[in-house]
Amino acid sequence: MSYTDLANTIFKDITLSAEDYLKKYPKRQLKEGAKVVRYAPSPTGFQHIGGIFTALINERLASQSDGIFYLRIEDTDQKREVAGAIEDTIKTMESFNLHFNEGVTGENTEIGNYGPYKQSERGNIYKAFAKVLVEKGLAYPCFCSAEELNATREEQTANKITPGYYGSYAKCRDLDPSVAIKRINNGEPYILRLKSPGNINNKVEFHDLIKGDISFPENNVDIVIIKSDGLPTYHFAHAIDDALMGTTDVIRGEEWLSSLPIHVQLFDVLGFDTPNYAHIPTIMKQDGGSKRKLSKRKDAESAVSYYREEGYPVTSVIEYLLNIINSTFETWREENPTLDYREFEISLDKMSKSGALFDIVKLNDVSKNVISKMKASEVYDNYLAWSKEYDTEMADLISKDKDFATAIFNIDREVPKPRKDFGKWSDVKEKIFYFFDELFNKETIENIELPKSLTIEAAKEIIKEYMPILDLNGTQEEWFAALKEKAIEMGYTADRKAFKKNPEAFKGMVSDVAGAVRSAITHRTNTPDLYAIMQILGKDKIIERFEKFINN
């Protein structure tokens, strides 16, 4: 009996051949240099920031080259599948402006001519190609039980030999087809393995688009290609899918780098051209003196939901990730403050080869920049959307009077150097609470921040004296001149040198008086422009707060 008989026994139900599929999915007609890339998650959990990072790199490269970015769902490990994960992936990607040109669009829907894009629906395709390998004697059924495989591994370990199913340890690799057919017909369970043509003494030279030139020994292990449930392993499915879907560049996490020898070999035995590969460094975190992988369990910021809950605008997260992809993004951003991030061209060869370091402080800085460039109305809309979900008290307060809230957000904004005070929407409340009596009146005396040099008594004294001359009808300069005059009259000085030289001669500086006014109105020492705050609150409200402050 021949390999063909064996192939026909194993794949008796397969009707379409590998040739048929190659015809069904013709070469894509795209412009020179266009990249066809994919995001290929397994639906085994909810989206991790590393997933956004990978998807962003793929999406940018496709978009920059007028190529194709598609979503393939790698669900061949059905035991690990988590309900709702596909929907979550799609929703998350959409929310980060990562739009797919092709692929899965919902639990049971997809677009594009190279599908199905869900591996669980491609069973017959994998079998058609596995059949060709069996016919050529390049793949074979393996009947070894888990116990037998364990025994082999133990023997290898005891003898200090690399464990694995290869060479003479691959017991089923040379079974005569007639014996294999008999065992199959007897109903013995089996899996399919590749008969590896590799020799570990041979080196493969490879150019990774991020890691650069690398070399590794050929794979000599007879890896599983089809499991006992009839579904392919990731390795086998990856090679067939990326070949048939016309992927030009496989850009994926570096945890797959060690599987590259297998993948290169599979493309070879299947007769496909090997795509370009780029292995993305893992996102790391500084933990004390050492770096470690961002952990799903320990680090809240590893989950995509964290950014939403904290209220980081999507653009902030994207721009932060662009910084990690290419450190040149930061300079580009400074030079092009108003351009959309999509105008920045990412390049893989400028990417750091080792671990990308995740830094929340840096994310905050990037985000402050992003938010500072928004118009007040945009801040209002974004903050309202966020607060409706995460802080309904604020949502109610700012919806009551949209113009009032927009005026607050407009302080020190839409000017050449806008104020960078919000890094995320959850920062906003503490920065604007004093505009709302409902929040301001909840504060107690302990919450009041004062200029360092003032006691509460001195501050009360200042407010008492200042209250009668409060006038908001003039310009900011006039207002300040009046305050200064009053301050000097009270024994404060505008002359820093004189004050330094002879502090005993003065009660303090004019800035202390302005500071007391600020504290009485806002309970904080660090706020945006005080005069702008006063204009928004209006004289009546300020007098009310002054009185309350004095009588506190």
CB of 250 to ligand GLU, least distance (A): 6
Taking the C-alpha atoms of residue 508 and residue 490, their distance in angstroms, rounded to an integer, is 10
CB of 255 to ligand GLU, least distance (A): 7
CB of 56 to ligand GLU, least distance (A): 14
Q: Which is nearer to ligand GLU, 321 or 533 (CB)?
A: 321
Contact 37, 245 (CB under 8 A): no
Contact 482, 469 (CB under 8 A): yes
Calculate the alpha carbon distances from 186 to 36, 383, 411, 515 in Å: 45, 67, 81, 90
The contacts of residue 470 (CB under 8 Å, 6+ apart) are: 539, 542, 543, 546
Out of 7, 10, 41, 425, the residue judged to bind ligand GLU by CB under 6 A: 41
Q: Which is nearer to ligand GLU, 184 or 224 (CB)?
A: 224
Cα dihedral angle (46, 80, 238, 264), rounded to 10 degrees? 110
Per-residue binding string, ligand GLU, 411-450, x by CB under 6 A, is ----------------------------------------
CB of 134 to ligand GLU, least distance (A): 25
Annotated binding-site residue numbers: 142, 144, 172, 174, 296
Residue 9, token pair as written in the block: 């026994």
Does residue 4 belong to the site contacting ligand GLU (CB under 6 A)? no
CB of 40 to ligand GLU, least distance (A): 4
Does residue 238 belong to the site contacting ligand GLU (CB under 6 A)? yes
Contact 67, 34 (CB under 8 A): yes
Whose CA is closest to 54, among 307, 321, 314, 247? 321
CA 496 to chain centre: 49
Calculate the alpha carbon distances from 133 to 46, 175, 247, 269 in Å: 36, 15, 22, 8
CB of 142 to ligand GLU, least distance (A): 24
Annotated binding-site residue numbers for Zn(2+): 142, 144, 172, 174
**Size of residue set near ligand GLU by CB under 6 A:** 8
CB of 350 to ligand GLU, least distance (A): 21
Q: Which is nearer to ligand GLU, 43 or 423 (CB)?
A: 43
Calculate the alpha carbon distances from 57 to 54, 69, 244, 253, 544 in Å: 5, 10, 22, 11, 55
Whose CA is closest to 347, among 61, 65, 98, 69? 61
Q: Which is nearer to ligand GLU, 86 or 408 (CB)?
A: 86
CB of 256 to ligand GLU, least distance (A): 6
Residues comprising the chain, all counted: 552
Angle at 337 between CA 333 and CA 343, to 5 degrees: 65
Angle at 343 between CA 341 and CA 347, to 5 degrees: 90
Taking the C-alpha atoms of residue 104 and residue 308, their distance in angstroms, rounded to an integer, is 24
Out of 4, 17, 42, 259, the residue judged to bind ligand GLU by CB under 6 A: 42
Does residue 281 belong to the site contacting ligand GLU (CB under 6 A)? no
Q: Which is nearer to ligand GLU, 233 or 323 (CB)?
A: 233
Q: Which stretch binds ligand GLU (CB under 6 A): 39-47, 63-71, 334-342, 441-449?
A: 39-47
Per-residue binding string, ligand GLU, 169-188, x by CB under 6 A, is --------------------
CB of 35 to ligand GLU, least distance (A): 14
Q: Which stretch binds ligand GLU (CB under 6 A): 34-42, 125-133, 135-143, 527-535?
A: 34-42
Q: Which is nearer to ligand GLU, 42 or 105 (CB)?
A: 42
Per-residue binding string, ligand GLU, 445-474, x by CB under 6 A, is ------------------------------
Helix (H, G, I), strand (E, B) or coil at 411: coil
CB of 402 to ligand GLU, least distance (A): 44
Q: Which is nearer to ligand GLU, 89 or 220 (CB)?
A: 89
Residue 420, token pair as written in the block: 């960078």
CB of 154 to ligand GLU, least distance (A): 30
Calculate the alpha carbon distances from 162 to 218, 257, 496 in Å: 14, 19, 77
- Half-sphere exposure (CA, 13 Å, Cβ side) for 518? 20
Buried b (16+ CB within 10 A) or exposed e, 275-293: bebbbbbbbbbeeeeeeeb
Residue in the structure block whose two tokens are 């949209």: 402
Per-residue binding string, ligand GLU, 190-229, x by CB under 6 A, is ----------------------------------------
Residue in the structure block whose two tokens are 């910021």: 301
Q: Which stretch binds ligand GLU (CB under 6 A): 38-46, 212-220, 298-306, 392-400?
A: 38-46
Does residue 40 belong to the site contacting ligand GLU (CB under 6 A)? yes
Q: Which is nearer to ligand GLU, 216 or 256 (CB)?
A: 256
- Sign of the CA dihedral with 209 first, then 211, 215, and 219 last: negative
Per-residue binding string, ligand GLU, 242-261, x by CB under 6 A, is --------x-x---x-----
Q: Which is nearer to ligand GLU, 41 or 515 (CB)?
A: 41
Per CB under 6 A, contacts with ligand GLU among 51-90 are: 74
Contact 87, 45 (CB under 8 A): no
Residues making contact with ligand GLU (CB under 6 A): 40-42, 74, 238, 250, 252, 256
